[in-house]
Amino acid sequence: MPSLPPDVNKLAARKWEVFLKRPIFTHSVLSSGTFLSGKTVLVTGAAGSIGTVVSLQLMRGLAKRLILLDRSARSLLTLQRRYQENHVVLPKVDFIQADILDGEAVQEICHEHPPQVIFHTAGLKHLVPLELTPFQALETNVLGMVRVLEMADLFHVQHFVNISSDKAVNPTSVLGVSKRISELLLLAFGAPAICTRSLRLGNVLESSESVVHAFLRSVENHQPFEVTDPQAQRYFITMDEAAAFLLETLNIRESSLLVPEMGSPQRVLDLIAFLMRDLQLDLSRVATVEIGMRDGEKKIEQLTYDYEYRRKTTVQHLYRLGGTTIADVEKLTSDIGRMLDLVLERRVSGLLKALQDIVPEYQPSATLLRCLG
């Protein structure tokens, strides 16, 4: 197999609009920068893939202070070095190592610098491994959301923005059901003074452990690339687009479940072919191995439930989803609380029923059923 060209790591130079067959959405820092003027902004998971891009965008804005929180000291250090390289004077930036599950630590952080805006990007996001660790996935993704929301309520945060996923639609994975529960939790959140938003994204190109990185590792290591299904299709969005849409949600002045325009779903095999052309490598010399769909995966993702519908917003290419209604908020919060009790106690019995009581559309994988057996 041929060697990679010297510019293999120049990911930002890729012309993703060619592969996506649509224009790339860009964000003007000024569009939400004025809105953030003088405010303290907290970013959870700030050193993760999307969190990093959001944080770097915010460093170019007019916020008074950025609280960049992540549980990984190593990743935070990498982000801090990028901050120093950019010679940022304003806003003031604090890099803080903490886990969102540590309520006392997060409360202490918010007490010292009360945020007005929270971008909640922290969470576990890798589908296949989470099927084997459902308790950890639900604890981090759902209880973590609860802990951050408690701080938002306690410190009178004005705006709370959450990352969701298309895997929350008719979920077949622990990741998907945890994201759907988080969506419902935000829609039911009973603090009218806080404007909450969940942004439902497709697969984020070049995020950590994405198909792009997996493919590049295969090529660099001269190994065949594993393809689950030749006809598998995904909705894709670039890292910069994901961060841009997150920032643009601040221009939606009502609590909402949102989805950006991501064009048509694209085959994963077509993504591989695009990368090969981009790297100027001969596609015929790259071996692929079909391994079949893994438990929890879908052949084709969906962006909306059958009963959901899109409404235009004041932000171009960003839509508000209607159709999801919560008939009994008290029951929903009680069901979520009961499910989290099982998670914290690591009790297998009753967990699947608890999840399906909250999300009736959830279809568990064989792997999860074995874990809970």
d(CA 373, CA 295): 16
In a domain, 274, yes or no: no
In a domain, 122, yes or no: yes
In a domain, 270, yes or no: no
The number of distinct structural domains making up the chain is: 1
> What region does 317 belong to: left with phi over 0, alpha with psi -120 to 50, or beta?
left
Predicted pLDDT at 72: 97
Predicted pLDDT at 33: 63
Low-confidence ranges of the chain (pLDDT < 50): 1-13, 30
Predicted pLDDT at 285: 67
Report the CATH number that the domain containing residue 332 is assigned in CATH: 3.40.50.720
Three-state secondary-structure class, residue 353: helix
CB count within 10 Å of CB 156 equals 12
Predicted pLDDT at 12: 44
pTM equals 0.94
In a domain, 317, yes or no: yes
Q: Is the dihedral of CA 199, 200, 203, 207 positive or negative?
A: positive
Angle between helices 49-59 and 73-85 (to 10 degrees): 30
- Range(s) of the domain holding residue 355: 29-203+238-261+300-372
Backbone angles phi, psi at 43, to 5 degrees: -120, 115
Predicted pLDDT at 208: 82
Contacts with 232 (C-beta within 8 Å, 6 or more apart), sequence order: 267, 268, 269, 293, 297, 299, 300
Predicted pLDDT at 29: 52
In a domain, 17, yes or no: no
**Residue 88 C-beta-side C-alpha neighbours within 13 Å:** 24
In a domain, 233, yes or no: no
Are 225 and 218 in contact, with CB atoms under 8 Å apart? yes
Predicted pLDDT at 46: 98
In a domain, 281, yes or no: no
Predicted pLDDT at 373: 83
State the Rg of the chain over Cα.
20
In a domain, 323, yes or no: yes
